Amino acid sequence: MPDVTETHKGASTSTNGTVVKLDRGFPLVRCCDGAHVRCEHATSLEKNERVRAVIGDDVEVFLPEGHDKGVIVAIAKRRTSFVRRDPAERTSHQVLAANFDLVIIAEPIVGLNRNRLERELVLAHQTGADVAVVLTKADLAQDEQEAQNVCEQVRALAGRSVGVCAMSLEDGESIQAVRDLIGDGRVAVLIGKSGVGKSSLVNVLAEAEVQGVGAVRDRDGKGRHTTVDRVMVELPGGGCVVDMPGVRGLGMWDADEGLGAAFADVDELAQSCRFRDCKHIDEPGCAVREAVEAGELAQARLDSYRSLAAEIQSVRERRDEARRLRGEKASDRKKRKR
């Protein structure tokens, strides 16, 4: 992909484009005529801290005459978006990517972390896109049987709507399966903890060295977080993939729908609880706890559900409280002005 800012010649114009790269510099926008332009945000957007273009955003760009940068003047409503709680600021959120069709969750086939996977599934479902799980490093499984068992467990956990496949770098067929999952003309974002093999997967899909493998990219030498490259990589067979390195924490934000989709088994049982707002803790007539007692639902599954539900609730309460305080301060300021 060309990464040059072509100085715009001729009269000022406006165009539409997509943010295809985010790094330390200005967002790189691919304009609808195919040109790539580094862009700054218009001051009207700058004023609002929350409004920043993210990878995948469709933007309207103003190209001032003779200027080497474009100006993002508007960001289109996002079709899908990946949102998490801001790790640095408990009462705000971060959008990590927008307008993708599929979230691919990468988890290692050996040492898969169930709790992490459940968390990833909630946030992935909440985006509004399709969800798939790719189990990486399948060659490290003891044998074929073990690999298949893990796939089956993950299928059972993730539910029917989630595609699951195992892959390893040396197995061409397994890589083709990931390509098929993405599909032609679709954009996939790749999440998963560092070291799971995301960069290797992007490189093998792209048939090029687009991402450094085994590199520590989310901290600088002093242990501080740095801005990390996020780039939309076009795949030779069609489709695009966005790696999201440096996504360390996956804190819940508004994720009620995601929770319901990721825990469809619990959600379905909950339809039969006596109280519509049953928390499945100690309410009478709780069908979910009855299912646990009858051995139809694992206690660990209910524990995960409750803990994620509680996290979503407490984040919401803290955020509402922060908003209320901000609102009070604003009205105090107004009063003082009067």
Least distance between Zn ion and beta carbon 289 (Å): 6
Residues in the chain: 338
Least distance between ligand GDP and beta carbon 200 (Å): 3
Rule CB under 5 A: choose which of 38, 278, 290, 316 binds Zn ion: 278
Least distance between Zn ion and beta carbon 294 (Å): 14
- Asked if 280 interacts with Zn ion (CB under 5 A), we say yes
- Residue span binding Zn ion (CB under 5 A) among the ranges 52-60, 241-249, 281-289, 300-308: 281-289
Residue 78 contact, options ligand GDP, Zn ion, none, Cβ 5-8 Å cut-off depending on partner type? none
| Torsion from C-alpha of 303, 304, 307, 308, nearest 10 degrees | -150
Closer to ligand GDP by CB, 21 or 36: give it. Answer: 21
Rule CB under 5 A: choose which of 59, 72, 164, 288 binds Zn ion: 288
Check residue 13 and give left, alpha or beta (phi > 0: left; psi -120 to 50: alpha).
Answer: beta
| Strand-strand pairing, 70-75 and 36-41 | parallel
Least distance between Zn ion and beta carbon 288 (Å): 4
**Alpha carbon 36 to chain centroid, angstroms:** 24
Q: What are phi and psi of 103, to 5 degrees?
A: -105, 125
Residue 288 contact, options Zn ion, ligand GDP, none, Cβ 5-8 Å cut-off depending on partner type? Zn ion
Burial-class residue 200 by CB neighbours within 10 Å (0-12, 13-18, 19+): middle
Closer to Zn ion by CB, 185 or 284: give it. Answer: 284
Least distance between Zn ion and beta carbon 274 (Å): 8
- Amino acid symbol at 227: T
Q: What are phi and psi of 121, to 5 degrees?
A: -65, -40
Which of 100, 91, 98, 80 is closest to 49 using CA atoms?
Answer: 91
Residue 199 contact, options ligand GDP, Zn ion, none, Cβ 5-8 Å cut-off depending on partner type? ligand GDP
Least distance between Zn ion and beta carbon 217 (Å): 43
Residue 168 contact, options ligand GDP, Zn ion, none, Cβ 5-8 Å cut-off depending on partner type? ligand GDP
Q: Which residues are near ligand GDP by CB under 6 A?
A: 136-137, 139-140, 168-169, 192, 194-200, 213-214
135's CB contacts (< 8 A; 6+ apart) are: 107, 108, 109, 112, 147, 150, 151, 154, 164, 165, 166, 167
Residue 200 contact, options ligand GDP, Zn ion, none, Cβ 5-8 Å cut-off depending on partner type? ligand GDP
Residue 280 contact, options Zn ion, ligand GDP, none, Cβ 5-8 Å cut-off depending on partner type? Zn ion
Closer to Zn ion by CB, 242 or 309: give it. Answer: 309
Closer to ligand GDP by CB, 64 or 214: give it. Answer: 214
Least distance between ligand GDP and beta carbon 226 (Å): 15
Residue 273 contact, options ligand GDP, Zn ion, none, Cβ 5-8 Å cut-off depending on partner type? Zn ion
Residue 99 contact, options Zn ion, ligand GDP, none, Cβ 5-8 Å cut-off depending on partner type? none
Residues at the site binding Zn ion, with contacts judged by CB under 5 A: 273, 278, 280, 286, 288
